[in-house]
Structure formats: structure tokens, C-alpha cells
Amino acid sequence: MAGIYLHIPFCKQACYYCDFHFSTSLKKKEELITCMVKELEIRKEELAKETIETIYLGGGTPSLLSAKEIELLLHTIHQNYKVTEHPEITLEANPDDLTEAKILELAESPVNRLSVGVQSFFEEDLKSMNRAHNSEEAKKCLSMAIRYFDNITIDLIYGVPNMSNERWKENLQIAFDFGINHISSYALTVEPKTVLDSFVKNGKYPAPDEVEAKEHFDILMEETAKNGFVHYEISNFGKPTYFSKHNTSYWLGKKYIGVGPSAHSFNETHRSWNVSNNAKYIKELQLGKLPNEKEELTKEDRFNEYLMTGLRTIWGVSLEKIEPVFKEQLLVSSEKFIKQGLLVIENNILKTTQKGKFLADGLASELFIV
């Protein structure tokens, strides 16, 4: 089984914290979609022996696409790849795009999972992030979407300066009250070269506080557990049967191709990535060339990647799957973290403890083989 990721690099406006590749100009949208179709056709042999079980339209803002454009991309996949009978097809959407007409349009399409970029239900937070929607739009779109879609996930950001623990709890409670079955939640992070990075450096916005973020994360784990969610990946919480199949395939090391500017691909031994420039992407594909670079993964690279993704999930790192030489080193290097109560070995699987979850990425980097 494998997956296909489609990167739609367009947004109405730039969120201050975002470092993904996108453009606020839609002038080249039609050309770019045509080139994505071409890329899908050119690359079909890469997954010729695989069955596609997940398709994910991410971005950017895929909800800016018309029904015809979505249908064109999905039809191209079905024409050129072997697709399972009931694939998970996710589309990322912003609340301001999800009018009732748009929701009805999506409900009549093959899309069967919505990922809604709420980020917060509070006006103050949304303004500080420069989100295009407001609090009322977030609530209104969800009240409509739940009538047409059973499988909905929302994004929420914690660790936002001036967000009290009480307001964070209220954010979560609003999501629970809507009956949402999946939440992806991330700490506000200051990425280099973003507007937020500039604001923090110039003293226009306070830097996120790691202690506050840790408190929010602990609340997040506690409240989602109370409401029947499984914390199956550091940033992802789903009720049973509502885990993201697409993202889970990344964490379990399955093959996938990424189509569109800046999209990444993985085939177990190699990783590749497309150029992060819409004009260059279009130009190369119009010439019949793939606009990407590729690197071969060493055994150490593959071990480190498995370690990084494994420690973020409930499935952990299976010591049986690791080459003996790596296993021996891992057992030695992880010993101090086990003694600190941050890691544990159960049934020959290395996992983070509840105490260690917030530190998962840092623990993995400490255990990397260089």
C-alpha cells in the first residue's frame, strides 16, 4: 500500500508563523494544476507495483480549488494508478472557504475526509496569527461540515503567548462539543525567515514560552484522553477508527509520492523533493522534465528516520526490525533516558513514556547514529 500527496501552493494571505511553500497570487493556478496532472502521469511507474490507499490534498489551501480542479487531479490518479476501492481522500480547508455551497460541493466529490485549519476559536489568537478567518466562521463552518462529513479533523495551535490554560481548555472543549473525532495540535514555533520570526526579533511579539507550551501539552493529553481520543502520534489525537491513514503511512515508513511544488517523496531507499518555486515547477514540466532532486538514504539515514518517526507514535521502535549493530548501540545510548523515566522498553519495543512524549524529537536526535 502507498499514498499520494498533492501540494496546492496557494493561500489568500500569509499566516505569520507559516514556513510552507505557497503563493498568494492565483494567476498561475490553472497552469500549475495542468502541470501537476502531467507530473502524476510521468511518475506512475514509481508506484506501478503498489496500491494507493490514501490521497491527501495539502498546502497551501486546497479548498481554493474548484470542484472541477479537484476532480481532474483525482481522475488522473485513478486513470494512472491502482487505487483501492475505498481510499481515504483528505482535503485541507480553511474555515473562510467552507461556505455551505462549498461543503455541499465537496460532499458530492470523492473527498471523504476534511482537515479544517481552525488553529483557535478565539479572535485574539487568530488576529495574532494573521489567519484569514474569524472565530465565528470557524464555528459556523464546523456546524455545517459535521452534517455532511463524518471524518473531520481540525488543527489547533497551543503555546500561543497570552493564551491562558483556561482558554486552551475552552478551545479543546469547543472542539469536543462539535463531536470532532480527530485533532492535530502543534506548539506555536518560530520558524526562520517567517513574519513571526521577524516580529519576535524586533520585539513586536513575545517569544513563545516553552514552560507554557508544556503545560498546554499536558492539558491536551489529559483532556483528549477524558474524551475518548487515542494519542497515537505526538501531535495527533484520534478516536478509534479515525486515525489519519495517510499520515500514519508516513510514520510507518510506507512509500508515497509528493506531487506539486516543494512536495517530498519516499520509496524506502530514496527521498526526493520538488523545487519550491511555482514558475520553475511549471517551466520544467512544460518541457517534460521532473523538477526534483533525489538523495539515496544510507542505512544510518533509514535507522535515524525510523527512530524519529517511531518515537513519536504509539507503535514505537521495534528492536526486532533494527540491524543488530544499530540495536546494540541503541540499547546503550537509550539506557540513561530509560533511567530518567523518559523511555521504556516493552515487548521488545522502545517507546516514550508519558513524561517523555513532549521531548520525543529531542530524545530521537540524542539517539541518532551519525
Residue 218 maps to a domain: yes
- Mean pLDDT value across residues 155-162: 96
The x, y and z cell numbers of residue 141, run together, are: 463552518
Q: Is 143 strand, coil or helix? A: helix
Rounded to whole angstroms, the Cα distance separating 149 from 138 reads 16
Identify the CA nearest to 18 among candidates 182, 155, 167, 178. 155
For residue 365, with 0-12 CB atoms within 10 Å meaning exposed, 13-18 middle and 19 or more buried, which class applies?
exposed
- How high is the pLDDT of residue 302? 95
For residue 57, with 0-12 CB atoms within 10 Å meaning exposed, 13-18 middle and 19 or more buried, which class applies?
buried
- Strand ranges for the chain from DSSP E: 2-8, 51-59, 82-93, 113-119, 152-158, 182-187, 230-233, 236-238, 255-259, 264-266, 270-274, 292-296, 317-318, 343-346, 349-352
Residue 288 maps to a domain: no
Task: Let me know whether 85 and 157 are in one domain.
Answer: yes
- Mean pLDDT value across residues 35-54: 98
Residue 275 maps to a domain: no
Which of 86-95, 191-200, 294-303 shows the lowest mean pLDDT across its residues?
191-200
Mean pLDDT for all residues in the chain: 96
User: How would you classify residue 228: left for phi > 0, otherwise alpha for psi between -120 and 50, otherwise beta?
Assistant: left
- How high is the pLDDT of residue 18? 86
Residue 286 maps to a domain: no
pLDDT > 90? residue 22: no
- Mean pLDDT value across residues 39-55: 97
pLDDT grade for 161, boundaries at 50, 70 and 90: very high
Domain housing 176: 2-250
Residue 290 maps to a domain: no
Task: Let me know whether 236 and 348 are in one domain.
Answer: no
Residue 32 maps to a domain: yes
pLDDT > 90? residue 193: no
Task: Let me know whether 227 and 333 are in one domain.
Answer: no
Contacts of 362 (CB under 8 A, 6+ apart): none
Give pLDDT tens digits for 164-179. Answer: 999 999 999 999 999 9
Q: How many helices (H) and strands (E) does the chain have?
A: 13, 15
pLDDT > 90? residue 146: yes
**Locate cell 513563545: which residue?**
208
| CATH code, domain carrying 357 | 1.10.10
Identify the CA nearest to 9 among candidates 287, 258, 195, 266. 258
Task: Let me know whether 233 and 345 are in one domain.
Answer: no
Identify the CA nearest to 37 among candidates 3, 73, 64, 4. 73
Residue 279 maps to a domain: no
Residue 259 maps to a domain: no
Task: Let me know whether 238 and 307 are in one domain.
Answer: no
Which of 11-25, 57-71, 146-160, 241-255 shows the lowest mean pLDDT across its residues?
11-25
- How high is the pLDDT of residue 163? 94
Give pLDDT tens digits for 312-324. Answer: 999 999 999 999 9
Cβ-contact 275, 290 below 8 angstroms:
no
pLDDT grade for 25, boundaries at 50, 70 and 90: confident
Domain count, the chain: 2
Task: Provide, rounded to the nearest whole percent, the portion of the chain with pLDDT above 90.
Answer: 92
Residue type, 30: E
Vertex 122: Cα angle to 239 and 132 (nearest 5): 95
- How high is the pLDDT of residue 23? 83
Q: Supply the DSSP string of 258-293, one letter for each residue.
A: EESTT-EEE-SSEEEEE-S-HHHHHHHHHTT---EE
Rounded to whole angstroms, the Cα distance separating 195 from 280 reads 24
Task: Let me know whether 331 and 216 are in one domain.
Answer: no
- How high is the pLDDT of residue 24? 82
Give pLDDT tens digits for 239-278. Answer: 999 999 999 999 999 999 999 999 999 999 999 999 999 9
User: How would you classify residue 260: left for phi > 0, otherwise alpha for psi between -120 and 50, otherwise beta?
Assistant: left
pLDDT grade for 337, boundaries at 50, 70 and 90: very high
Is the omega angle on the peptide bond into residue 203 within 30 degrees of 0, that is, cis?
Answer: no
Task: Provide, rounded to the nearest whole percent, the portion of the chain with pLDDT above 70.
Answer: 100
pTM for the model stands at 0.95
